[in-house]
Structure 1
Amino acid sequence: MATDYDTPRIRPEDEIETDSLEGLKAAEKAEPIIDDTDDGEVVEPLDIPMADLSGEELSGEVIPRQNDEFTCSVCFLVQHRNRIAEDNGEGGYVCVDCA
C-alpha cells in the first residue's frame, strides 16, 4: 500500500476545539506538561571545609611597603623595584606581569 506523505495528519489533540475557553481547558487537560529540564543527575551540595570563618581572626604581621618596592598601578600588588616595566610619569608604575 502506498503512503502519501504530503497529506495532513490528524492527531487526537487537533480534534479538540481550541477556539473557545472550554476547548483550551480541555486541550490543557489532554496534554500534561512535562518538565524535560531534569537530566536525572543527582547534584550533591558543595561542602566547603571551614566555611564558617566569622569567629576567626587573621594572624599575620603586616609590613609596610619598603623603599625598594612599588605598587603596580594595574594589579595593585607590591613588588620589588627590579620588576618595573613601565613608568607612566605620574608616579604610577606597571609591573612586568601586567605590561
Structure 2
Amino acid sequence: MAIESAAPAVISEEDRAKEIAELKAGKTAEMANLIDESEASLAEEYVLPGGEAAQEEASVEILSEQADEFTCASCFMVRHRTQLVREENGQKFCSECEG
C-alpha cells in the first residue's frame, strides 16, 4: 500500500522556472489554434446594459406640439392640456411637477 505525503516536493527555483516556462509555452501554442466559434458569435450578439442594440433602425414619426398640448417648463415633457396646473409669465407647469 502506497502512502502519500502531504509535504510538498522540493524543487529548485531553476527547475520551477523551467516548468512554468514549458507550461506557458505549451498552453499558448495549443490555445492559439482553438477558437470557439459559438462563443464568438454569442459575444457579438450580447448587448451590455446601456449599450446599443443591433444595427436596426427604428422608424419613429416625430410630431410637433399639438394645439391641445403644452411643454412643461420644469420637466420639459410634452403634456396634454388637462395636466396644466399653473401658468406663470408664459411658462406652463404640469400636475406632476407641481404636485
TM bin (shorter chain): 0.3 to 0.5
TM-score (norm 2): 0.44
TM-score (norm 1): 0.44
